[in-house]
Structure 1
Amino acid sequence: MKKRHIVLTLGMATLLAACSSQGSKSSSSDATVWDKIEKKGELVVATPTTYRPTSYYDDNKKLVGYEVDMMKAIGEKLKVKVKFVETGFDQAFSSVDSGRVDVSLNNLDITPERQEKYNISTPYKYGVGGAIVRGDGTSGIEKKDLSDWKGKKAAGAAGTNFMKIAKKQGAELVTYDNVDGDVYLNDVANGRTDFIPNDYVAQKLFVDAMKEKNPNLNVKMSDVLYNPSENGIIMSKKDKSLVKKIDAAIDEMKKDGSLKKLSEKYYNGLDLTKPFESNEKIPVIDISDVKDAG
């Protein structure tokens, strides 16, 4: 009897251990995206590090910028550390797909196509398309309807909405990896490319800064505006736990004015947390049928 009692006890212990193991696996599989980030205590963020004024290294080799400082503030509100991973535009989405990062941002427009595949935060910045051209007028980019883009060489990162617009307008695409902005400017200035389609405000600030250093640099901002945009933070669509947390943090920053202060700091006093306004009608180029741009 005593021997049988020991066997039964051991059998019960094995059963309890199995149940405990199954319960642990179930608990782990039930964890949300946010649960895992909170447990790790770290939010991994994909950022370009070469794009002024949103993500770049200052003179002290410190990573700064509108998007960088915003993500640091979001991390503080969510009580997690923020780890930045240098990621070019061509990896902005694949880095989320692979799980290499938790979120990705790089002035990424909120579009229906992207919303189908990803969770995207509430807009943290509003913009409008512009173009950097040669200062002597030889780029030939001046028509408000963008009809003179046909046959011109457009410079940019492969796959951006700006390059899709250029392709739709018949431009020849010249694509770059994650390079510094002065590479783009010099190529326009020396005629290797004709123009750079990109965010108007950010590029104007960059051109102004570069012209201060080199007044003879043969570039300027075109007056042409197109495609008002909303920028959002890209996340996995596994569940809504993370996007809810980030949306709440952004909304809080909008209400307390801290997001506006960051915008004014990095965009020369401009508040880009509100939709872009213009007295003129701004053309919108439909790029829903453009599947590849570079």
Structure 2
Amino acid sequence: MRTLLLSLTLLSATFFSGFTQAGATLDRVTKTGVMRNIIMDSYPPFGFLDDNNQLAGFDVDVAKAVAQRLGVKLELAAPSWETIVGGNWRGRWDTCICSMTPNAERAKVLDFPVPYYSSPAVLVVNNKETHIKSAADLSDKKVGIGIGSSYELYLQKTLSIPGHKPLQFPFDHVQAIPSDEEIAFQNLALGPGVRLDAVISDLATAQARIKRMPNLKIATELFSEPNWVATDKGDAEWDKKIADTIKALRDDGTLAKISQHWLGEDITREDQ
């Protein structure tokens, strides 16, 4: 993880071109007393709407902890994933504590100041599935993935995670079917091959959905997936403030407590 941190820090510096006024985001947050964070509202247990129609989850609580440590109020927004990863936020949002994995394309339009957890990508199948046991079995299969997710790049054999060893793609001619991830799981639950043969998701998210759809199971883990805080380009002062705050929350055990609450384990350690 320390090697990954160094590599992504260098990557972020590489893409610090076309700056807005240095410190503009930090100045805005300081003057308004508000940090505006983007969240996903259909990605349990990281971000979702609870029974009271309020945003909740691991990412929500991490964002709350960051805002509290900065001494500012937190405002949450849940735009589409395509809008988030497209960058060019134009001051609408300050941070994306929203379970984003950096890749080369995203680093062209966003900065990634600090990692805050790591969780593996997994392959999910129907319990009645007997042939799909690994990524090598995905050739000529229909695989559901979230719209705009890194899993689509994985199936296209173009996913490259900075600082991560090169991924293996032991399959051919996979039919990737992007949709809302909840819909993908529901389609897989209809039976193997009815609409989908498999789904790729994050381990914790898959486990949360499988609790509600017990006719699904995890076939295997695919690759390690580091998740970083993302910010719009390019305020180095704000990025340092966020990186320092996340480090402080990790050092004092706050991140670990949030992780234990939502996941029953600590996925925030730097050595993962």
The TM-score with structure 2 as length reference comes to 0.79
The one of 238, 242, 262 equivalent to 2:258 is 262
Which whole-Å deviations, capped at 9, do the CAs of 1:92-114 have from their partners, x for residues lacking one? Answer: 22355444322224321133443
Contact 2:88–2:233 (CA under 8 A) maintained in structure 1: no
Change (3 A) 1:147 1:44: same
What residue in structure 2 maps to residue 103 of structure 1?
95
Specify the SS of the correspondent of 2:156. Answer: helix
**2:133 aligned with 1:142, yes or no?**
yes
Measure the CA separation in 2 of the matches of 1:83 and 1:153: 38
Which whole-Å deviations, capped at 9, do the CAs of 1:21-76 have from their partners, x for residues lacking one? Answer: xxxxxxxx675320122112211112111110001122232211110010011011
- The structural deviation recorded for 1:276 is 7.7
Aligned-pair identity in percent equals: 23
What one-letter code is carried by the residue in structure 1 that aligns with 2:132? I
Specify the SS of the correspondent of 1:136. Answer: coil
What one-letter code is carried by the residue in structure 1 that aligns with 2:136? S
Larger helix fraction of residues: 1
Name the larger-Rg structure.
1
The one of 19, 32, 45 equivalent to 1:53 is 45
Change (3 A) 1:63 1:158: closer
Larger strand fraction of residues: 2
The one of 233, 250, 274 equivalent to 2:269 is 274
What one-letter code is carried by the residue in structure 2 that aligns with 1:197? I
Contact 1:149–1:166 (CA under 8 A) maintained in structure 2: no
What one-letter code is carried by the residue in structure 1 that aligns with 2:217? K
Specify the SS of the correspondent of 1:59. Answer: coil
What is the RMSD computed on CA atoms of the aligned residues? 2.1
Measure the CA separation in 2 of the matches of 1:276 and 1:165: 24
What one-letter code is carried by the residue in structure 2 that aligns with 1:270? E
The one of 137, 148, 151 equivalent to 1:159 is 148
Contact 2:125–2:197 (CA under 8 A) maintained in structure 1: yes
What one-letter code is carried by the residue in structure 2 that aligns with 1:241? E
What residue in structure 2 maps to residue 203 of structure 1?
206
Contact 1:96–1:104 (CA under 8 A) maintained in structure 2: no
Measure the CA separation in 1 of the matches of 2:23 and 2:153: 38
Measure the CA separation in 1 of the matches of 2:112 and 2:63: 14
Which whole-Å deviations, capped at 9, do the CAs of 1:144-190 have from their partners, x for residues lacking one? Answer: xx1211111111223311121123243111111xx462x22220122
Name structure 1 gaps, 5 residues minimum. 1-28, 278-294
Contact 2:33–2:72 (CA under 8 A) maintained in structure 1: yes
What residue in structure 1 maps to residue 27 of structure 2?
35
Contact 2:110–2:232 (CA under 8 A) maintained in structure 1: yes
**2:192 aligned with 1:192, yes or no?**
no
What one-letter code is carried by the residue in structure 2 that aligns with 1:185? F
Name structure 2 gaps, 5 residues minimum. 1-20, 158-170
Contact 2:85–2:106 (CA under 8 A) maintained in structure 1: no
Specify the SS of the correspondent of 1:124. Answer: strand
What residue in structure 2 maps to residue 10 of structure 1?
none
Report runs of 4+ in structure 1 exceeding 4 Å deviation. Answer: none
Measure the CA separation in 1 of the matches of 2:22 and 2:222: 45
Q: 253-262 or 57-66: which moved more?
A: 57-66
Measure the CA separation in 1 of the matches of 2:143 and 2:181: 16
Measure the CA separation in 1 of the matches of 2:186 and 2:260: 28
The one of 226, 242, 245 equivalent to 1:246 is 242
Number of residue pairs matched by the alignment = 235
The TM-score with structure 1 as length reference comes to 0.73
What one-letter code is carried by the residue in structure 1 that aligns with 2:81? F
Measure the CA separation in 2 of the matches of 1:104 and 1:70: 11
What one-letter code is carried by the residue in structure 2 that aligns with 1:66? F
Measure the CA separation in 1 of the matches of 2:201 and 2:81: 13
Contact 2:82–2:148 (CA under 8 A) maintained in structure 1: yes
Specify the SS of the correspondent of 1:225. Answer: strand
Contact 1:110–1:229 (CA under 8 A) maintained in structure 2: no
What one-letter code is carried by the residue in structure 2 that aligns with 1:46? I
Measure the CA separation in 2 of the matches of 1:250 and 1:149: 38
**2:208 aligned with 1:219, yes or no?**
no
What residue in structure 2 maps to residue 16 of structure 1?
none
Correspondences of 1:52-131 after superposition (within 5 Å): 52-94=44-86, 96-131=88-123
Change (3 A) 1:233 1:263: same
